[in-house]
């Protein structure tokens, strides 16, 4: 038989490899920014159009390339950064695989302009789908400009697979933040569709964070500094009372490289234990410096995960230092100034228990009793709800549509009338004569129905009720607002404000009234009825985080997301005890909904069990 194995042509191999390096426009941004940093640039400019689908351009003032290097840089495994395998263990550059430019050139239209400071003239190269279209001598400033147009032009499936502009831009901004945070000594500018999104001058680390996340972040930063034989930590954690509903202010950098590590993240969370409530996440911006020999960054193609030689030690040191900082800056209730000697001799750790700074525990703290929840700093936390009795009015939301009850398909679900038969506990009958519902574990509501019983998830059911109520307001655009006595001023980072700006109109339709909408601050003079003022910042934060994190599908609708997010924030939580009246209202309002059987996120809101089902169980 004839031989059948062939070597793939280079452009095919490159296209395949590209799949691994370039998942989306943000991957290109990351690679180009990293190349600019490796080239020793002090100013880097990122220009993006249409969330990277039309153009991604990075202009740097780094060392540039010679004409030959410029040509070679597009070859696969062509790199100036390592020469042998040993070099992998002493990496001081971001790149080393020599794959990025080859991959990008395989799936886009690329134009490179580059010049070394010692030369008068530079080089221009144009490549489309790995094919060189043009190479010539060019007049261009010192440094390199690389522009990537029409990404995935030759892989339509990939192009169509890209998410909405909002999502892709979010990913780009995330990469930009990561790179910019790792290098406060380099100036960065970012433009999107012609307008400047970020302008980050050279500064110290704190200034860089504030430039990115807004002026309000300054007051929340607590410095963390620690130096041991194996590890140097520097950076900041956010004060517990500023903990966010989203995880997008959590950054670890190892030797100036952004990494993800669930394990180290856990170390931070455990240092914050008892200081922040569930569902909130501490902010952190931490730089770890370790011996390059002790890590292996080669295990993940996009290099955001790394392997440490001695993770346990890092964990212990990190946790202790964060606790120490929180204590020292008077954030944890009990101060512990005694520096832990173990920190200097980490190798002894393995047989030793880490002595953690003591934290005074509020034994009466009950995470489920939200109305009593006071954050440790003494501030009443935002979510603190009024006593349930004062809250039950919100159960009426959506009840207006009760009149239409008969139209929906659940009209055949008859609720059982007052039991006529002798009850087992006759004396109870007088007290709870009308009660047809019962709350189980502050989570489920059990109600008797003609065929048996129904068990309802209180949180999901209420979400449905609120969701339909808000939707109704939105569609008829006649939301009822309640005027605030004093305008409420809230601060957000510029990118958070961008998200809110997109949703401004919808927010107004639900009942929000904004009196100003600046770059980092907004002022609210009216909120939807049934939205307590104390919940407003939580709702907006939750909303931002939902928009940023939910990777919406093609039929992504901002309105729907807004309404879902608001209902989620405001719905009665699991753990909240409800009076008989509240339980009954919830049941009634749920069945007044158009689609009572599922929550806005398509989760089942109630199940039924018939007497037959029970009979079977008792057989």
Q: Which residues bind ligand ADP (CB under 6 A)?
A: 31, 35-36, 38-39, 60, 62-65, 73, 78-81, 95-102, 144
Q: Which is nearer to ligand ADP, 98 or 333 (CB)?
A: 98
- Choose the contact partner of 385 out of ligand ADP, Mg ion, none; CB within 5 to 8 A by kind: none
Nearest approach in angstroms of CB 146 to Mg ion is 11
Rounded least distance, CB 247 to ligand ADP, Å: 29
Name which of 116 and 463 has its Cβ closer to ligand ADP: 116
* Residue, CB closest to ligand ADP: 95
Give the residue with the Cβ less far from ligand ADP, 66 or 234.
66
Cβ of residue 97: shortest distance to ligand ADP, in angstroms?
A: 5
**Residue 447 interacts with, from ligand ADP, Mg ion, none (CB under 5-8 Å by kind):** none
Going along 421-551, which residue ranges are E strands? 437-440, 444-449, 452-457, 481-491, 513-517, 521-528
Can you tell me whether residue 130 is helix, strand or coil? coil
Smaller CB separation from ligand ADP, 74 or 410? 74
73 binds, among ligand ADP, Mg ion, none (CB under 5 to 8 A by kind): ligand ADP
Measured in degrees and rounded to the nearest 5, phi and psi for residue 44 equal -130, 130
376 binds, among ligand ADP, Mg ion, none (CB under 5 to 8 A by kind): none
Nearest residue to Mg ion by CB is 95
Give the residue with the Cβ less far from ligand ADP, 146 or 264: 146
What is the spatial order of strands in the sheet that 481-491 belongs to?
Answer: 481-491, 521-528, 513-517
Q: Binds 369, which of ligand ADP, Mg ion, none (CB < 5 to 8 A, cut-off by type)?
A: none
35 binds Mg ion (CB under 5 A): yes
Nearer to Mg ion, 103 or 588 (CB): 103
Instruction: Classify residue 374 by its DSSP letter.
Output: B
Q: Decide whether 129 or 327 has the Cβ nearer to ligand ADP.
A: 129
Nearest distance in Å: CB 112, ligand ADP: 8
Q: Is 313 in the site for Mg ion (CB under 5 A)?
A: no
- Cβ closer to ligand ADP: 45 or 208? 45
Judge contact between 101 and 21, C-beta under 8 A.
no
Q: How far is the CB of 92 from Mg ion (least distance, A)?
A: 14
211 contact, one of Mg ion, ligand ADP, none, CB 5-8 Å limit per kind: none
State which of residues 52, 95, 398, 526 lies at the interface with Mg ion (CB under 5 A). Answer: 95
Q: Where are the alpha helices (DSSP H) in 44-150?
A: 67-72, 100-106
Structure tokens given for 477: 């655009």
Helices then strands, each counted (H, E), the chain: 17, 22
Instruction: Rank residues 52 and 398 by Cβ distance to Mg ion and give the closer one.
Output: 52
Identity of the residue, 103 or 567, whose beta carbon is nearer to Mg ion in the bound complex? 103
Among Mg ion, ligand ADP, none, the one that 96 touches (CB under a kind-dependent 5 to 8 A) is ligand ADP
**Among Mg ion, ligand ADP, none, what does residue 575 contact (CB within 5–8 Å per kind)?**
none
> Within 10 Å of residue 606's Cβ, how many Cβ atoms?
23
Q: How far apart are the first and last CA of the chain?
A: 69
Give me the residue label for tokens 């009209």.
Answer: 411
- Residue 390 token pair: 């004062």
- In angstroms, give the least distance from the CB of 251 to Mg ion: 21
Q: How far is the CB of 157 from ligand ADP (least distance, A)?
A: 24
User: What is the pattern of x (binds Mg ion, CB under 5 A) and - over residues 446-485?
Assistant: ----------------------------------------
Pick between residue 126 and residue 241 the one whose CB is nearest to ligand ADP.
Answer: 126
What is the closest distance, in whole angstroms, from the C-beta atom of residue 32 to Mg ion in the complex?
8
Rounded (to 5) percent helix, strand, coil in the chain: 40, 20, 35
Residue 62 burial (CB count, 10 A): 22
Residue 194 C-beta: closest distance to ligand ADP, Å: 23
- Tokens representing 596 are 């009572």
Contact predicate 79/98, CB 8 Å: yes
Residues in region 100-119 near Mg ion by CB under 5 A: 100
What's phi and psi for 83, nearest 5 deg?
A: -120, -25
- Kindly compute the dihedral angle of the four CA atoms of residues 533, 539, 541, 542, in this order, to the nearest 10 degrees: 160
Measured between alpha carbons, how far is 538 from 547 in angstroms, rounded to an integer? 14
CB of 94 to Mg ion, least distance (A): 6
Q: Cα–Cα distance between 272 and 240 in angstroms, integer?
A: 7
- Measured distance CA(225)–CA(289) in Å, rounded: 11
- As a whole number of Å, the CA-based R_g of the chain is 29
Question: Residue 208 touches which of Mg ion, ligand ADP, none (CB < 5 to 8 A by kind)?
Answer: none
Least Å distance between CB 148 and Mg ion? Answer: 13
Pairing of strands 284-289, 250-254: parallel
CB of 257 to ligand ADP, least distance (A): 13
Nearer to Mg ion, 100 or 124 (CB): 100
Query: Whole-angstrom Cα distance, residue 568 to residue 557?
Result: 16
Q: Rounded CA gap, 329 and 222, in Å?
A: 7
Residue that is written with structure tokens 């971001």 in the block: 94
How many residues sit in the footprint of Mg ion (CB under 5 A)?
3
Binding partner of 21, given ligand ADP, Mg ion, none, CB within 5-8 angstroms per partner class: none
- In the complex, the smallest distance separating the C-beta of residue 53 from ligand ADP, rounded to whole angstroms, is 21
Exposure b/e, 464-500, CB count within 10 A at least 16 = b: bbbbbbbbbbbeeeebebeebeeebebebbbbbbbbb
Q: Is 62 a residue that touches Mg ion (CB under 5 A)?
A: no
Beta-bridge partner residues of 195: 192
Q: Which is nearer to Mg ion, 52 or 528 (CB)?
A: 52
> Min. distance of Cβ 230 from ligand ADP in angstroms?
28
- Measured in whole angstroms, the distance separating CA 277 from the mean position of its chain's CA atoms is 17
Residue whose CB is less far from ligand ADP, 72 or 335: 72
CA–CA dist 137, 116 (Å, integer)? 13
Q: Which helix (H) or strand (E) holds 21?
A: helix 10-21
DSSP string, 182-217: H-TTSEEEEEETTEEEEEE-S--HHHHHHHHH-GGG
Residue 79's binding partner among Mg ion, ligand ADP, none (Cβ under 5 to 8 angstroms by kind) is ligand ADP
Chain positions contacting Mg ion, by CB under 5 A: 35, 95, 100
């Amino acid at each position: 038989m004839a031989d059948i194995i062939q070597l793939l042509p280079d452009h095919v191999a490159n296209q395949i490899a590209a799949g691994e390096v370039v998942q989306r426009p943000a991957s290109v941004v990351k690679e180009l920014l990293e190349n600019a940093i490796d080239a020793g640039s002090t100013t880097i400019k990122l220009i993006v159009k249409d969330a990277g689908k039309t153009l991604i351009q990075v202009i740097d003032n780094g060392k540039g390339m010679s004409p030959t290097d410029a040509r070679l840089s597009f070859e696969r495994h062509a790199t100036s950064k390592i020469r042998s395998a040993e070099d992998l263990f002493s990496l001081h550059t971001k790149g080393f695989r020599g794959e990025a430019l080859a991959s990008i050139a395989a799936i886009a239209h690329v134009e490179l302009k580059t010049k070394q400071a010692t030369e008068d003239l530079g080089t221009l190269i144009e490549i489309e789908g790995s094919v060189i279209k043009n190479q010539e001598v060019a007049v261009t400033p010192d440094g390199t400009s690389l522009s990537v147009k029409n990404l995935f032009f030759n892989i339509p499936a990939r192009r169509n697979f890209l998410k909405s502009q909002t999502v892709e831009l979010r990913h780009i901004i995330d990469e930009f933040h990561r790179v910019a945070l790792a290098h406060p000594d380099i100036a960065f500018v970012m433009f999107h569709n012609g307008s400047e999104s970020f302008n980050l001058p050279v500064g110290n680390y704190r200034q860089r964070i504030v430039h990115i996340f807004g002026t309000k972040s300054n007051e929340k930063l607590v410095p963390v500094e620690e130096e041991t034989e194996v590890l140097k930590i520097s950076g900041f954690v956010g004060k517990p009372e500023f903990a966010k509903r989203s995880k997008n202010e959590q950054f670890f950098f190892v030797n100036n490289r952004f990494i993800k590590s669930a394990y180290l993240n856990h170390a931070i969370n455990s240092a914050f234990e008892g200081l922040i409530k569930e569902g909130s996440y501490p902010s952190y911006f931490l730089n770890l410096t370790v011996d390059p020999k002790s890590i292996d960054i080669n295990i993940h193609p996009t290099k955001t995960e790394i392997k440490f030689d001695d993770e346990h030690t890092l964990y212990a040191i990190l946790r202790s230092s964060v606790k120490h900082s929180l204590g020292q800056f008077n954030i944890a209730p009990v101060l512990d100034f005694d520096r832990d000697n173990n920190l200097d001799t980490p190798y002894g750790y393995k047989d030793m228990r880490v002595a953690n700074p003591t934290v005074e525990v509020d034994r009466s703290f009950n995470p489920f009793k939200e109305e009593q929840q006071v954050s440790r700093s003494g501030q009443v936390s935002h979510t603190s709800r009024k006593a349930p009795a004062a809250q039950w009015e919100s159960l009426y939301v959506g009840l207006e549509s009760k009149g239409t009850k008969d139209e929906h398909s659940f009209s055949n679900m008859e609720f059982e009338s007052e039991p006529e038969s002798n009850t087992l506990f006759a004396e109870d009958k007088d007290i709870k004569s009308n009660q047809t519902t019962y709350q189980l574990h502050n989570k489920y509501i059990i109600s008797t129905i003609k065929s048996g019983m129904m068990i309802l998830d209180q949180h999901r059911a209420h979400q449905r009720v609120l969701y339909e109520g808000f939707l109704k307001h939105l569609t008829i655009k006649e939301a009822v607002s309640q005027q605030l006595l004093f305008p409420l001023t809230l601060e957000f980072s510029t990118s958070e404000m961008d998200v809110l700006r997109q949703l401004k109109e919808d927010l107004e339709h639900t009942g929000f009234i904004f009196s100003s909408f600046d770059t980092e601050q907004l002022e609210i003079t009216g909120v939807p009825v049934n939205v307590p003022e104390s919940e407003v910042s939580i709702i907006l934060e939750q909303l931002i985080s939902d928009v940023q994190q939910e990777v919406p599908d093609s039929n992504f609708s901002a309105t729907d997301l807004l309404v879902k997010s608001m209902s989620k924030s405001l719905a009665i939580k699991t753990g909240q005890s409800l009076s008989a009246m509240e339980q009954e209202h919830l049941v009634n309002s749920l069945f007044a909904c158009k689609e009572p059987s599922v929550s806005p996120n398509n989760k089942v809101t109630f199940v039924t069990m018939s007497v037959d089902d029970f009979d079977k169980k008792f057989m």
